[in-house]
Amino acid sequence: MGPMTDDHAADTAPVLLHIEGGIATVTFNRPDAMNSLDLATKDLLVPTIRQVAEDPAVRCVVITGNGRAFCVGQDLKEHIAGLMAGDEGLGVTVTKHYNPVAEMLATMNKPVIAAMNGVAAGAGASIAMGADFRIMVEGGGMNLAFAGIALSCDTGSSFWLPRLVGVAKAKELLLLPRTLSAAECLELGLVTTVVTADDFAGEVAALATKLASGPTLAYGAMRRAVAYSATHDLTEALAFESELMNATGAANDHRVAVDAFLAKQKPVFEGR
């Protein structure tokens, strides 16, 4: 199944895609199931994320949910039914669905915002942690719920969580899972900001618009540089920075910025 857009023919799809003004909004659309990830959702999510990652017209990606939850991770009802039917283990869906989504969100050449309209749990929390910015509504929360059902962690949580909160706190949140309030998520650095329900849509739109009008290639280079430095020594990180500086220095947006600086004007970036 390929990606779909949220027109009238597709508004019941489990994943919606809307692209406007350089902003791609990917929406989990199973509100009655708290946007849990059943097979149909995962099968659609992977090509949808790939589409927005590869589309040069998309300069910022927002991922959010419909209803009262952002995404609560694996659909356990479907999983239990699969266990009883003797289906393949979770390792199959981790390799086929969760790993590609986590990697594409983290490495696409454009910024990503998790607009957390409610609770995020399990793989849903992991997906949010892979974004550059996490805007959470008051009343939202996060739960690294894997241990509660005797499972290991997935979708990059072992990678992102210790980088956000430190190794010791990451182990605590994984081994002793609980729902963290929006305020605690903010205090721990798990989210960028917490806003009221009334302000939520406006805050997300303002940030997405700002990022979509920015120097997209430079943003992508910065994302890759930060990720690279996490697993390489200083010498290697410096060499990689040099490569990225040469690439962005040769890009059109840099020339636009220089010309605007000399003219004492505000640059208008084209994302190339």
The order of strands in the sheet holding 180-181 is 69-71, 119-121, 141-143, 180-181
Q: What is the pLDDT of residues 225-270, one digit of tens each?
A: 999 998 999 999 999 999 999 999 999 999 999 998 999 989 999 8
Same domain assignment for residues 202 and 236: no
Same domain assignment for residues 47 and 144: yes
Same domain assignment for residues 185 and 225: no
What CATH number did the domain enclosing 171 receive?
3.90.226.10
The verdict on residue 78 lying in a domain is yes
Residue type, 119: V
Same domain assignment for residues 122 and 243: no
Same domain assignment for residues 134 and 171: yes
Place of tokens 């943003």: 219
Domain count, the chain: 2
The verdict on residue 5 lying in a domain is no
Q: Give the β-pairing of 141-143 and 119-121.
A: parallel
Q: What is the pLDDT of residues 69-92, one digit of tens each?
A: 999 999 877 767 766 676 766 778
Same domain assignment for residues 117 and 97: yes
Same domain assignment for residues 193 and 220: no
* Alpha-carbon gap, residue 27 to 101, rounded angstroms: 14
Q: What pTM did the predictor assign?
A: 0.91
| DSSP one-letter string for 96-136 | IIIHHHHHHHHHSSS-EEEEE-SEEETHHHHHHHTSSEEEE
Same domain assignment for residues 257 and 131: no
Same domain assignment for residues 115 and 100: yes
Its sign, for the CA torsion 159, 163, 167, 169, is negative
Same domain assignment for residues 242 and 152: no
Instruction: Please list the ranges in the chain whose pLDDT falls under 50.
Output: 1-9
CA 21 to chain centre: 19
All residues at 6 or more sequence positions from 236 whose CB lies less than 8 Å from its CB, including other chains: 228
The SS3 of residue 181 is strand
Same domain assignment for residues 184 and 52: yes
Q: What is the pLDDT of residue 6?
A: 46
Last residue of a domain, one of 190, 212, 234: 212
What is the span of the domain harbouring residue 240?
216-262
The verdict on residue 271 lying in a domain is no
What CATH number did the domain enclosing 258 receive?
1.10.12
